[in-house]
Structure 1
């Protein structure tokens, strides 16, 4: 499957590739949320109010989530740059 944005940083709205464009958009939102959750988790760890077991569980959960994202990107033929869509005057999303 070909990436839907041809490395331009924009989502392809071509009706023939609507499924790929939708997958790219959904994956972009998921990746953005994953990064937000990861940053929040790091703040909690650095805050020192988690047990060693909680830190370990959090680390495993984040690694599993990242692995699943990699699997989904491969499934849809996307890479990290494909998920960093161009928001025009606002710049890149991530």
Structure 2
């Protein structure tokens, strides 16, 4: 599918791009996928600590701000590399999708 200025439409495939001419894009997709996975793990751990009551109110506030900033930065990077959430959810074959 061609869009506007003759560029192919962006269609997520659930796979990392292995085309040698687009190696940079595939690498960016892989790195961003790992970063998103780690972000989600950190967020889950933070929520466990908040729910466990082991943080002060100030620590909870700082943690919330840090997580919001991290999510915002991830969104910026996805724009830079022209990726969306579906692109980061790579297909691991019989194991299913990563995220």
For normalisation by structure 1, the TM-score amounts to 0.94
5 Å matches for 1:22-33? 22-33=27-38
Cα-Cα RMSD? 1.7
**Deviation sequence 1:42-69 (CA, Å, 0-9, x none):** 0000000100000000000000000000
Does the Cα contact within 8 Å between 1:3 and 1:77 map onto a contact in 2?
no
Structure whose residues are more often strand by fraction: 2
**Runs of 4+, deviation exceeding 2 Å:** 1-4
Q: Which runs of no fewer than 5 residues in structure 2 stay unpaired?
A: 1-6
Establish whether residue 71 from structure 1 lines up as the match of residue 76 from structure 2. yes
**Bigger RCO (CA 8 Å, 6+ sep):** 1
For normalisation by structure 2, the TM-score amounts to 0.89
Larger Cα-atom Rg: 2
Cross-structure match for 2:12: 7
Q: What is the total number of aligned residue pairs between the two structures?
A: 93
